[in-house]
Amino acid sequence: MEKRLFEDLIDSGKEKHGTQQSKVLPVSLLLHSVIAALIVIVPLLSADQLPDPASAVKAFFVEPMAAPAPPPPPPPPAPHQQAPKVIQKPVVENKFVAPVEVPQEIKPEESIDMGVEGGAGGVEGGVPGGVVGGIVGGLPDAPPPPVQAVRVGGQIKEPKKLKNVPPVYPDIAKQARVQGVVILECTISPQGKVMDVKVLRPMPLLEQAAIDAVRQWIYTPTLLNGVPVPVIMTVTVNFKLS
């Protein structure tokens, strides 16, 4: 009996499952049909909101970019910048070529005579062994170096004054009652003339008058080893009101 009860339970389960499956299948098909219809109908109802096909196409297809223009050709070089053409000169090789035929006579070589008849060195009256193209009489004597001025003292005695010009007392110095001594350093030329004057002890209002007077003085030439030389000496000019 227990076996019978177990078989009844299995049979009843199968019947219930079959009845439920037969009810669920139509409902599922209906729901899927409704959903499919909504998917198709809803987009058709909102056709005004559909995107522009042209814009959609442009979104997927981009216009190709134009190729850049080629660069301009370089300017031609200026005429002065063109490299000069180098003309190669043919190289002549000085080679000794043996004669084809043996000469019967051998002539002496002609040499160039640089001398002049009655002279030597290419110049009339030249010196034997001199240089060709020299100067007749040789080079002129170089001028002697300038003699430096020597200072009076020791063996160099002060020259004697041959010409004395008294200074002119300036009027402005007389009115200001200015008097005193102006000491100058003078350079005497070999001929005894005053060449240069330098003030050692100045005196206002009297310096220029002393310089103008001393420049006119003349002395005897100073000899050194029998040769006149310039000398440097000190001169004193006294200004005194009477």
Domains of the chain, earliest start first: 150-239 (3.30.2420.10)
Phi, psi of 218 (to 5 degrees): -130, 135
pLDDT at 119: 45
Q: Could you state, in chain order, the average pLDDT of each consecutive group of 10 residues for the chain (242 residues)? A: 53 55 75 82 62 53 67 72 64 63 68 49 55 60 74 88 94 92 95 94 92 95 90 94 83
Measured at the CA of 149, the angle between CA 143 and CA 153, to 5 degrees, comes to 145
pLDDT at 233: 94
pLDDT at 111: 57
**Does the predicted model carry a pTM greater than 0.75?**
no
Residues 221, 187: Cα–Cα separation, whole Å: 12
